[in-house]
Amino acid sequence: MGYTYNYPHFALTADAVIFYKSDTGLNVLLIRRAHEPFKDRWAFAGGYVNIDEVIDVAVYRELEEETNISNVLLKRFDIFDALDRDPRERTVSVVYYGFIDGSIVPIKAGDDAKDAKWFPVNKLPELAFDHSEILKKILEVVQK
């Protein structure tokens, strides 16, 4: 007989906020979502943590699948757990950030990202989920 758990479970995701410092200022890498929710809106690269992987591995996997970026040092930033942050289900996200030289690192959208490109942090499109709030909090740290 299998074990029954008496408490509801939540989903766990990992998101990567990648920055590039250019001559014109700080830029952030965003992907255009190919699927609902928030289809066609821009977001950070990221996704669900598989049941058989650790979060630190998941964030690198998702980043590479969605942007083709693999050689970047990521730092764990914070956990975002607002109850309504994802309309699909209760979702908690561990957010990481890092810096790369966007002029020499090629990006290529893949997996469930239909596009990937750099945006100046002061000229962003409307972001999916709570990613505007996440970016605001990260910028308070990285722009010091």
CATH number at residue 67: 3.90.79.10
Domain count, the chain: 1
2 within domain boundaries: no
5 within domain boundaries: no
The residue segments making up the domain with residue 80 are 11-142
Alpha carbon 95 to chain centroid, angstroms: 7
Task: Please identify every stretch of the chain with a pLDDT value under 70, giving residue numbers as ranges.
Answer: 1
Which amino acid, 23? Answer: D
130 within domain boundaries: yes
How far apart (Å, rounded) are the C-alpha atoms in residues 68 and 82?
29
In the chain, % helix, strand, coil (3-state, to 5) comes to: 15, 35, 45
Confidence at residue 4, expressed as pLDDT on a 0 to 100 scale: 76
> Could you tell me the pTM of the whole model?
0.93
6 within domain boundaries: no
Confidence at residue 102, expressed as pLDDT on a 0 to 100 scale: 76
